[in-house]
Chain A
Amino acid sequence: SYVLIQPPSVSVAPGKTARITCGGNNIGTYSVHWYQQKPGQAPVLVVFEDSGRPSGIPERFSGSIAGNTATLTISRVEAGDEADYYCQVWDSSSNPVKFGGGTKVTVL
Chain B
Amino acid sequence: EVQMLESGGHLEQPGGSLRLSCAASGFTFSNYALNWVRQAPGKGLEWVAVVSGGGYSTSYADSVKGRFTISRDNSKRTLYLQMNSLRVEDTAVYYCARLNSGSNNYFDYWGQGTLVTVSS
Contact = CB atoms under 8 A, between A and B. Distances in A.
Interface of A: 31, 33, 35, 37, 41-45, 48-49, 54, 86, 88, 90, 94-102
Contacts of A45: 106-108
A102 B104 contact: no
B108 A43 contact: no
Interface string B79-120: 000000000000000010100100111111011110000000
Interface in B23-65: 35, 37, 44-47, 50, 59, 61-62
Contacts of B112: 41-42
Nearest to A97: B47
B115 to A, nearest CB: 11
A90 B106 contact: yes
Contacts of B105: 31, 90, 96-97
Contacts of A54: 108
Given A95-B61, A96-B59, A97-B47, A35 B107 contact: yes
Contact of B106 (A37, A88, A100): A88
9 contacts: A31-B105, A35-B45, A37-B45, A43-B97, A90-B106, A94-B62, A96-B59, A97-B37, A97-B47
Given A95-B62, A97-B47, A43 B110 contact: yes
Contacts of A41: 112
B106 to A, nearest CB: 4
A44 B104 contact: no
Given A99-B44, A99-B45, A49 B59 contact: no
A101 B42 CA distance: 11
Contacts of A95: 47, 61-62
8 residue pairs, one from A and one from B, having the closest CB atoms: A31-B104, A97-B47, A90-B105, A33-B106, A42-B110, A102-B44, A99-B45, A48-B106
